Structure 1
Amino acid sequence: MSSATTPPPSTATIRPYRPADHDAVYDICVRTADAGDDARGRYASDDLMPDLFAGPYLHLEPELAFVLEDTGRVVGYVLGTADTPGFVRAYRREWIPRLADRYPEPAGAPRTPDEEMLALHHRPERLLLPELTAYPAHLHIDLLPGHQGRGHGRRLLERFLAAAARAGAPALHVGMVTANVRARGFYDRLGFQVIPVPDPGPLTYLGRSTG
């Protein structure tokens, strides 16, 4: 007889984001921001990456943010927009002024990793690529390492797909750091296909329908 035992059922559940989850989402974001690895200490402030890739979605479109909670602790999230052009307009109108004291626009070409990120912050229009027009929604999804590879990412993504479809988006895209091999396998398994984009830089663009 095999001595293997069946792992206990997961206690993790998905629920809508609440304002009280803000700090936990920021913590997860920075712990996974270096192509899936921990980016704490990489920039002058550990809030820099979350302020670009989590905070604006929580502020502008909290209804499309969901968290994975396990025994009272937030251990993952998915967030995004169903309307990338609308999000870009709101980012410039509301989010950049909101953080103006914290992140002034760099003068000249970026010279440091922090300035490279700030250049992205001040140029949200970089998200508006013609090749992505047919995929108006986009998302960011992150899980703490101990909760990866257990089906939670699929569940989070499916929750976002359903919400984006209800909001009117026929398809969505992700801009994935090409070096993040683990993430690429995840998206491949969930039916994402490469969207050809000329000169994509460090990113690979993937898309699929919301249905």
Structure 2
Amino acid sequence: MLVRLSALPDRGAALAALEDIFFLSTLRKEFASAEERASFFRTWTGWYVERAPDDVWFAVADDGAVIGYLTGCKDSAGAVDLARIIPKYEVFADRFAAFPAHLHVNVRPGFRDHGIGRALVDRFAEDCRADGLPGLHLVTGVFARNVSFYQRAGFTVATQRGALLFLGRRLD
């Protein structure tokens, strides 16, 4: 089942699960302190939870366990404060008009390769399409393991700048 953060009865438990999945999924594992770890997490998730809770989706198993999440923003160009938070946010700003929404998605290990991440992406894409948006995007590393996943999910417009790769999905 896919549920918006804003519709979950126990927001605290959902956010704790999001944090758990985030750190299970990130390549960065070492932090100098608990504060640095918390700051890293806030950098990549805080804005979405605070400013766009209707664009934060959870995949919930039958037993109620959170097994995946998607954080999204439907107006990348308008979210100017994200450019101050997320490193290199502005590198692909010239692509935001055609692909205004962006997302991050992670699935708990053990539940990957079961269509959960794709379902989250497709649900967010449906929302964006219903809002009349022409496309959505994400930015990843050129050699990241997730590139083929996103290509299979319809992100076929690619722009490379240095080690970063912009992948766009048209919604029209």
TM-score normalised by structure 1 residue count: 0.69
- Residue 49 in structure 1 maps to residue 31 in structure 2: no
**4+ long deviations beyond 3 Å:** 122-125
After superposition, the Cα gap between the structure-2 partners of 1:58 and 1:167, relative to the gap in structure 1 and judged at 3 Å, is farther
SS at match of 1:54: helix
Deviation at 1:203, TM superposition (A): 1.7
User: Match for 2:127 among 163, 167, 172?
Assistant: 163
SS at match of 1:46: helix
Structure 2 counterpart of 1:134: 98
Aligned 1:110-125 pairs, distance under 5 A: 121=85
Structure 2 counterpart of 1:26: 19
- Residue 189 in structure 1 maps to residue 156 in structure 2: no
SS at match of 1:86: coil
Structure 1 counterpart of 2:2: 14
User: Where is the strand percentage greater, Structure 1 or Structure 2?
Assistant: 2
**Residues 64, 81 of structure 1: 8 Å contact kept:** yes
Structure 2 counterpart of 1:65: 56
**Residues 25, 54 of structure 1: 8 Å contact kept:** no
Structure 1 counterpart of 2:165: 204
Residue ranges of structure 1 left out of the alignment (5+ in a row):
1-12, 93-119
- Residue 88 in structure 1 maps to residue 80 in structure 2: yes
Rounded to whole Å, the distance in 2 between the matches of 1:173 and 1:84 is: 9
Provide the aligned length of Structure 1 versus Structure 2: 164
Deviation at 1:137, TM superposition (A): 0.5
**Residues 30, 46 of structure 1: 8 Å contact kept:** no
Rounded to whole Å, the distance in 2 between the matches of 1:46 and 1:125 is: 20
**Residues 68, 76 of structure 1: 8 Å contact kept:** yes
Larger Rg: 1
**Residues 30, 40 of structure 1: 8 Å contact kept:** yes
Deviation at 1:50, TM superposition (A): 2.2
Deviations 1:97-152 (A, max 9, x none): xxxxxxxxxxxxxxxxxxxxxxx627675265213431101000001111110111
Residue ranges of structure 2 left out of the alignment (5+ in a row):
none
**Residues 175, 204 of structure 1: 8 Å contact kept:** yes
After superposition, the Cα gap between the structure-2 partners of 1:139 and 1:196, relative to the gap in structure 1 and judged at 3 Å, is same
TM-score normalised by structure 2 residue count: 0.83
